[in-house]
Structure 1
Amino acid sequence: MNSFNERQLVALVQEGLPYDTRFFQQLITPYLPKLKGYCVKVLGNQSDAEEAVQETIIKALTNLKGFKWLVSFKSWLFKIAHHECINKIRERRWDIIQYDDDYLDTLEAKLPDEDDIAILISTMLESLSFDDRNIMLLRYRTGLEFQEIADICEMKLSAIKMRHKRVIKFLTRQMDSDKSKVKPH
C-alpha cells in the first residue's frame, strides 16, 4: 500500500470526491482512536460517542472538498467532533425534558476498571465546566496545541491558556486535598 502524508491524502480524497473515497479511510484511520476517546470522555456515553464519531466522519467526508489548510486536518476534524458532541448534549437536554428522570439512567457513564488515581482524575474532570473539561481533553487526550484548541472552541488563545492554567491549579489543589484526607495504614 502506498504511504502518503496527510496533505497528499487530503488532496487525493478531494480529487476523487464525490465518487472515489478509497483514500478517505487511509486519511481518517490514524485519528479514529483519539476521536472516539475524545467523544466518549466528553459525552460519557459509549453509544452517543459512537454516533458522534459517525456523524463527524460523514460531515468530514461531505465537507472535505471545501477544506482549506487554514488549520491542520486534525484540528478541523476535532472541531467537527466538538460540534457533534455539543449537538448530542443538546439532544440529551431535550430528551431529559421530554422523558424526565427515567432518561437520566441511560446517561450515566460507566467507568472501566482503573486504578484509584485514574478514577480520581476522571471524577475531578467531571466536576469541571463543559468548556474547561473540553480544553483538558483536547489538550491531553488528543495532543492538540493551544492554538488548535482555541480554533476548535472558537475562543481566544489567551482565554484557552488562562482556563488551562486555572484548571491545573484547581486539580492540583483537589489532589493535595484528597491526599491529606487519606491516612496511611
Structure 2
Amino acid sequence: MPAAAATDPGEVSDIDLVKRSQAGDTRAFDTLVTRYRGRIYAMTYHLIQNETEAWDLAQEAFIKAWRALPTFKHDAGFYTWLYRIAHNVCYDWLRKKKIQGDGEFDDERSEHRVAVGAEAAPKSDLAPDAAMSNAELGSRIRAAIAKLSPEHRQVIVLREVEGMAYEEIAALIPCSLGTVMSRLFYARKKLQELLHDVYENSH
C-alpha cells in the first residue's frame, strides 16, 4: 500500500489545522472535530452518565472551541485546550443540575493530610478502566462514579479513563497538585466502599 500523501487530512498536524481554522477554513476545523469527537464524547459521557446530554455537551464544546479559536495561543496542545473547554461545559452543566454526592470531604482542608509523594489510592484499589470490558461490572462502576460529587468524579475520569498525569489534571482543572491527589484518594476510597464486593473478589 502506498504511503499516505502529505495532503491526507489524517496526516496534517493539529497545529496546521488550527492555523487554517483560525484563518476561516471550516473544513480544517471539521477535520479536528472528526479527529477528537470520539474522545470528547467519551469524556462528557463518563462525567454526565447520560448519552443524549453527553452528545449535546460535546457538540456545545466544539461550538465554543470554534468561537474561541482566535484566542488559542498555541502555548498548549490543541487537544488539551479543547478538553479544558469540554470539561468546563460539563462542569457548568453539573453545577446547574446541582448533582451532589453523599458523604463528601472538604478537599481543601484535608489536603495537608495527603503528601504529594504519597500513594494516592488504597493498596487494594481496582482501576475502573481495567474493568470496563466486563459489561455488568462496567455498568456498576459507572453507576458508582455517578454517585461521586462533580469534583471527585472529574479527577477519577481524568486519571483512570483518560490516563492523565497528576500534573496535567492540576493544570486542567486548575487546582494544586495536592488537591488533585486528595480528591483522587477520597474518590477512590468512596468507590471502594460502593464496590466493596468487587474489590474483595478481585483479590
Query: TM-score scaled to structure 2, two decimals?
Result: 0.67
Instruction: Say yes or no: does 1:132 pair with 2:137.
Output: no
Measured after TM superposition, the shift of residue 55 of structure 1 is: 1.1
After TM superposition, the structure 1 stretch with the greater mean CA deviation from structure 2, 78-87 or 59-68, is 78-87
Which amino acid counterpart does residue 80 of structure 1 have in structure 2?
I
Which amino acid counterpart does residue 151 of structure 1 have in structure 2?
A
Cα 1:89–1:170 shift into 2, 3 Å: closer
Gaps spanning 5+ residues in structure 2: where? 1-7, 99-133
Aligned to 1:178: 197
Aligned to 1:103: none
Instruction: Say yes or no: does 1:89 pair with 2:94.
Output: yes
Measured after TM superposition, the shift of residue 144 of structure 1 is: 3.0
Gaps spanning 5+ residues in structure 1: where? 94-113
More helix by share: 1
Partner secondary structure for residue 164 of structure 2: coil
Q: Aligned equivalents of 1:180 and 1:161: distance in 2? A: 21
Task: Tell me if the contact between 1:43 and 1:85 (Cα under 8 Å) persists in the aligned partners.
Answer: yes
Task: Tell me if the contact between 1:13 and 1:23 (Cα under 8 Å) persists in the aligned partners.
Answer: yes
1:5 corresponds to which of 10, 13, 20: 13
Q: 1:8-87, aligned counterparts within 5 Å?
A: 8-14=16-22, 16-17=23-24, 20-87=25-92
Measured after TM superposition, the shift of residue 174 of structure 1 is: 4.8
Over the matched positions of the two proteins, sequence identity in percent amounts to 27
Q: Aligned equivalents of 1:180 and 1:153: distance in 2? A: 29
* Cα RMSD, aligned residues only: 2.6
Cα 1:70–1:50 shift into 2, 3 Å: same
Query: TM-score scaled to structure 1, two decimals?
Result: 0.72
Q: Aligned equivalents of 2:96 and 2:183: distance in 1? A: 27
Aligned to 1:153: 173
Instruction: Say yes or no: does 1:141 pair with 2:161.
Output: yes
Q: Aligned equivalents of 1:147 and 1:12: distance in 2? A: 30
How many residues of Structure 1 are paired with residues of Structure 2 in the alignment? 159
Measured after TM superposition, the shift of residue 168 of structure 1 is: 3.1
Q: Aligned equivalents of 1:68 and 1:121: distance in 2? A: 38
